[in-house]
Structures are given as structure tokens and as C-alpha cells.
Amino acid sequence: MKTHTLIFVIFSLLLLSCKKNEMDKTVFIPDEDDPILPAYTEWGYNSFGAEYERDYFLVSHKIVPCKITYSNQQLQFLLHGTTNYTGKEMKLLFVFNSEQISELEDFKKLHQKEIDLSAHECTVKMDNTVLEVSAGKLHFKRVQLLIIDNEPMNRVLLSGTFDLNFMQNGFPASISNGRFDLGITKKDFSGQ
């Protein structure tokens, strides 16, 4: 009897670890209107994408798509992927004032929150260059804690949209039709 119980416990732990590993993977579901972009979803698919001039800024299966830090009353929300045509790595960092976020549950404060990226207290960086943003919005449309079979999974799902117009090398540029659907765990987030 003890052997059967031990086998059951080991099997359950293996199954649970497989579920967690699967939830960390990127799932790319093409958009109906523009199949290069991911569809907007709210399922924690660890996906994002946007049009960037005549190219695309997209999630990569080889790169962790998002990292978030909170310190000094500011949230830093980093999207890390590649450009579609050149395959060059690219980072897009949004920094904005926020209420205290130190635990995953605190992310609920961002639900339905819209950030004006051209506001004085916001900073947007592409790679390590601060962008001169003339207009733009980052909208956290839905923030939800992941619960499966009434069990909290220590994961928060962030889903939303973004777009911005900015100056690059003295000329106007834009990122449009941006969308994200991310499953954030404690390993993706650092808060004080």
C-alpha cells in the first residue's frame, strides 16, 4: 500500500511540474487580420507583438518575453523579443509611476489602467535609448490571478495593448497595434 501511495505522489508531482513548464512556454496564435501578429488573448500565452514601422516586434521562443520590477514608486515593464525581418533582439521598456506592487496579487491594481506614455513622468526606452514619445498609450485591459481547480497557481496574467509615436534619429517613428498576454511568476518579477 505504501508503494502505491509513493508512486501516486511521485506521479502527481511530475504531472504538476509538467503543467508549470508548459505554462512558461510561448503560445503564438496568429491574428485573423494580420497573421504575423499574435491574436489578442487573455489566457497567459506569454506572447506579444506590434508593428514597428515596416517591420514587427515579436515575442521569441528563445527569450523570456517579460520582466517587471518595482522600486521607488515606479514600475518597469520590459518586453524582450526580436524584429521579424532582421531577427535582431529588441527590448522595449515602459517606466511609469505606480502604486506599490510587491506581491503578485498587487498587480490587480493595474486592471483596466491606461498609461499615457507621453506624460512627463513616463519613460520609454528601446534597447538602451530613451525615446522622445509624442503620443502613446499602454493599456492593461485585464489583470487576473491564475486559479486552476480552485488552486492558486502563483501566476498573474497581464493582457493589454500598446502603441506610441516617437522620434528616432531625428525622424518620426511608430509602434502600433501592440498587444500582450503574459503569465508573470515570481521569477519574472522583483518588487520592494
> Residue 174 belongs to what domain range?
2-191
Q: Specify the pLDDT at position 49.
A: 98
Residue-wise pLDDT tens for the chain (192 aa)?
454 443 433 333 333 444 456 788 999 999 999 999 999 999 999 999 999 999 999 999 999 999 999 999 999 999 999 999 999 999 999 999 999 999 999 999 999 999 999 999 999 999 999 999 999 999 999 999 988 888 778 999 999 999 999 999 899 999 999 999 999 999 999 987
Distance CA 67, CA 7 (A): 37
Distance CA 145, CA 80 (A): 23
Q: Specify the pLDDT at position 21.
A: 67
78 Cβ neighbours under 8 A, 6+ residues apart: 66, 67, 68, 91, 92, 93, 94
Q: Specify the pLDDT at position 11.
A: 39
Q: Which of 122, 23, 142, 144 is nearest to 77 (CA)?
A: 122
Distance CA 91, CA 99 (A): 24
Whether 86 and 55 have beta carbons less than 8 Å apart is answered as: yes
- Split into its structural domains, the chain has a count of 1
